[in-house]
Structure 1
Amino acid sequence: MHPTTAAAGPPAAGGNRRPGYLYQKVAAHLAAHPDQIFTVGELTKTLDVPSTGAVFDALKKMAAAGYTTHLTRPHRFQITQAGIDAAGQMPPPAPHPPRQGQRGAGRRQPVTRPNGDLYFPRKLAGATDVDVLQRLRDKRIPVLLYGPPGTGKTALVEAAFPDLLTVAGTGDTVVEDFLGNFIPLPDGGFEFVYGPLVTAMREGRALLVDDATLIPPKVLAVLYPAMDGRRVITIPSYRNERVEAADGFYVIAGHNPGVHGAILTEALASRFDVHIEVTTDWDLARHLGVPRPAIEVAITLNADLAAGRVSWAPQLRELLGFTRVRKTLGAAAAVANLVGRAPQEDRDHVLAALKQQFGPDISALTLGKQR
């Protein structure tokens, strides 16, 4: 039996024939389980939806409106009271970022990300990183951000582009995660839900391909016609529908060198005219209240990482986590937790660096005997 849809005519330029159906399905499930935190994969499987990209897009919309919390690595979501009160109603569309020449004098101030955290712009090419990314988008110059996990690549893109859509790359990412797929309807039929690439092209939005180098090259090739001079793709699984990119459509990608399975192919690298390395800003870490000894440990371990002596070193994400744990559980537990976050093969090296700053009595955070 072939999938059916609610209407025979072509879809409107903004999305599927039942706007918000998947969003409402995701919101209803979260509202029914207010105490649970879900990953994108868990929700996709539970709701029997074939496209993780479509589910992730719905969750990002909820997070941007304050309807869910949004944790990363992995991406996890939990509904908030505001989300429960919204009763599945979609928030208004995110505003497009201002065009070049419209950014005000306050652009160097902290920028609020969709999850509510602040991003502090950094210097780049005589301006700020946020400003530079916006200027590159204006000129349709694609950017590849690269650096260790936790240095703030995703945070930077979220700060620069309030209208951002995201594809979270893994080795299991498929073409449908970009283009969309059929989902079952309550009446037994099916409806095609467009993926984030199609939505970004039609609505002139920015698309982040996070961890792009984990995605199989044959899958990633779906992006290339949208990025070149044609700026047109087709959807083979849906009547070979033709999709043209609206003004403002923009692709930016993230790459974590050294991560297992991350391969930067020549085909991918050549599609991005600008490659920007993103490293941890130690001055920002100090500004955000990270204790000096923890920063010194991170600087030492990052030097070892650059020299190839270790495969992991704490970045800004781990340092901010250290600070939160320290405020909640105390310094000893925070240090012990940092040991436990290190890969097993690097743990002795990390432990030695921590002992130089925090003293000899350190071990990984471990359960003890019953009290």
Structure 2
Amino acid sequence: MNPTPPTAAPAAAGGRRPGYLYHKVASHLAANPDRMLTVGEVTNAISAPSTGAVFEALKKMAAAGYATHLTGPHRFQITQAGIDAAGTMPPPAPRTPRSGSSSGRRQPVTRPNGDLYFPRKLAGATDVDVLRRLRDKRIPVLLYGPPGTGKTALVEAAFPDLLTVAGTGDTVVEDFLGNFIPLPDGGFEFVYGPLVTAMRDGRALLVDDATLIPPKVLAVLYPAMDGRRVITIPGYRNERVEAVDGFYVIAGHNPGVHGAILTEALASRFDVHIEVTTDWDLARHLGVPRPAVEAAIALNADLAAGRVSWAPQLRELLGFTRVSKTLGPAAAVANLVGRAPQEDREQVLAALRQRFGADITPLTLGKQR
């Protein structure tokens, strides 16, 4: 049997060689050098079967400097380097050191706002990796834990194509599906909501504070999440919307927030429930003073025991550090007391006084100098 020539590449699915889709994507951008193109526009133009695969190819181009990448929505435009590359695949990126390697810490992931997220251990991997694997298998995840523990930051780090619905008691179906907006000429135009956009573009959708949303409103998600992956828009000609590959729903739940109710209908839609707590070692690594971390740990023990209804999490500790650098430690401690609910203030004061000294009061305006 003759060996395969070393120059022959294995065929991909459908008899196509690896890089076939990437070359089509790059060629289409090169044919439209003056345009910013959305993922959906590129997918339709090249008749690709998967918006998610096109998005991955576009991100690969952007990472190599072959395309400019803008968000809100995601748009791409070829660069001169991309034109010069003539559709060839970029060289492989350097591998990120694994946990436990000589680097000692998994490399941080940049969120859309430019802040860094430091991945944490989960199920034998990192939280970012686990969420991406669950998305690949279409397994919905519910993240739960106190506000400020990093649930939203984790999802943003895992999914750069993320869209978000911020849940409140006033959230309505139109916040998911879209609504008519007035035009300057007196007419109206229907603007699709984040659920529709995520389904059509194969993007991830975070329903933040999902348990604050009325159950009747949340029901709009269910047919998009089950085997049907189809919804209709009653307010716009009963238009039918089908989810393409890459579409994914993830939700956040804050159990201790007033009005948050996790119904059986909602809980059963998410096959994986992950508790998100504050990483105290990370807080120290990010420069939070040790006394503040120790006070927060003690208050969180009180929170778990039901003795208080609030305790500072990573968000408050990072805020403490910023205020301390700007106004000084005394003002930062006083401000942390002021952030506590009135009913918990004495316990918070006691924990802070034990570690920072007795002369602590909430940050309050005094007399004129």
TM-score category by the smaller chain? 0.7 to 0.9
Q: Deviations over 1:281-337 (max 9, x none)?
A: 000000000000000000000000000000000000000000000000000000000
The secondary structure found in structure 2 opposite 1:303 is: helix
1:109 aligns with 2:100: no
Give the aligned residue type for 1:155: A
In structure 2, distance between residues paired with 1:222 and 1:174: 10
Say whether 1:93 aligns with 2:74. Answer: yes
Distance 2:75 2:117 in 1: 18
Map residues 117-266 of structure 1 onto 2, 5 A cutoff.
117-266=115-264
Q: CA deviation at 1:236?
A: 0.1
Give, as a single letter, the amino acid of the residue that structure 2 aligns with 1:348: E
Instruction: For residue 346 of structure 2, give the secondary structure of its aligned residue in structure 1.
Output: helix
Displacement of 1:148 after TM fit? 0.1
Shift of the 173–130 alpha-carbon distance from structure 1 to 2, 3 Å rule, reads same
Q: Which amino acid letter does the alignment assign opposite residue 251 of structure 1?
A: V
Aligned counterparts of 1:233 and 1:211: Cα–Cα separation in 2: 22
Distance 1:105 1:231 in 2: 35
Aligned ranges for residues 9-88 of structure 1 at < 5 Å?
A: 14=40
What is the SS of the residue equivalent to 1:130?
helix
Q: 1:110, CA displacement in angstroms?
A: 0.5
Aligned to 2:291: 293
How many residues of Structure 1 are paired with residues of Structure 2 in the alignment? 281
Shift of 1:105: 2.6
Does the 8 Å contact 1:177/1:195 carry over to 2? yes
- Give the AA of the match of 1:351: L
- Tell me the distance in 2 between the aligned counterparts of 1:281 and 1:177: 33
Q: Would the alpha carbon gap of residues 299 and 250 (structure 1) be closer, same or farther in structure 2, given more than 3 Å must change?
A: same
SS in structure 1 of the partner of residue 231 of structure 2: strand
Q: What is the alpha-carbon distance in structure 1 between the residues aligned to residue 276 and residue 74 of structure 2?
A: 29
What's the offset of the Cα at 1:109?
1.1
Looking at structure 2, the residues matched to 159 and 357 of structure 1 have their Cα atoms a distance apart, in angstroms, of 34
Q: Specify whether residues 352 and 133 from structure 1 end up closer, same or farther in structure 2 by C-alpha distance, changes over 3 A only.
A: same
Look up the match of 2:81.
none
TM-score under structure 2 normalisation? 0.74
Letter of the structure 2 residue corresponding to residue 93 of structure 1: H
1:328 aligned onto 2:326: yes
Q: Which structure carries more relative contact order (alpha carbon 8 Å, separation 6+)?
A: 1
Q: How much has 1:245 moved relative to structure 2?
A: 0.1
Q: For the residues of structure 2 that align with 1:179 and 1:91, how far apart are their CA atoms?
A: 17
- Letter of the 1:283 partner, please give it: D
- Secondary structure, counterpart of 2:161 in structure 1: coil
Alpha carbons of structure 1 residues 231 and 104: separation in structure 2 relative to 1, 3 Å: farther
For residues 117 and 307 of structure 1, the distance between their equivalents in structure 2, rounded to whole angstroms, comes to 33
Moved over 2 A (4+): 12-15, 89-92, 102-108
> In 2, distance between residues paired with 1:94 and 1:274?
32
| Superposed displacement of residue 103, structure 1 | 10
Q: Who is 1:349 aligned against?
A: 347
User: CA 1:90 to 1:130, structure 2 compared with 1: closer, same or farther past 3 Å?
Assistant: closer
User: What TM-score, normalized to structure 1?
Assistant: 0.73
Q: Distance in 2 between matches of 1:369 and 1:321?
A: 26
Aligned position for 1:340:
338
CA RMSD, 1 decimal: 1.9
Partner of 1:272: 270
CA contact 2:164–2:194 (8 Å) conserved in 1:
yes
Aligned to 1:70: none
After TM superposition, give the deviation of residue 14 of structure 1 in Å: 4.8
Q: Deviations over 1:219-269 (max 9, x none)?
A: 000000000000000000000000000100000000000100000000000
Partner amino acid, structure 2, of 1:227: M
Task: Give, in angstroms, the shift of residue 338 of structure 1.
Answer: 0.3
Structure 1 equivalent of residue 7 of structure 2:
none
Determine if contact 2:39/2:75 at 8 Å carries over to the other structure: no
Paired residue secondary structure (1:209) = strand
Distance 1:299 1:92 in 2: 40
List gaps (5 residues or longer) in structure 2: 1-37, 42-69, 77-92, 99-105
Kept in 1, the 8 Å contact 2:149–2:276? The answer is: yes
CA contact (8 A) 2:39 2:74 kept: no
Shift of 1:104: 4.4
Q: Distance in 2 between matches of 1:109 and 1:304?
A: 33
Looking at structure 2, the residues matched to 123 and 169 of structure 1 have their Cα atoms a distance apart, in angstroms, of: 28
Aligned-partner Cα distance in 2 for 1:245–1:104: 32
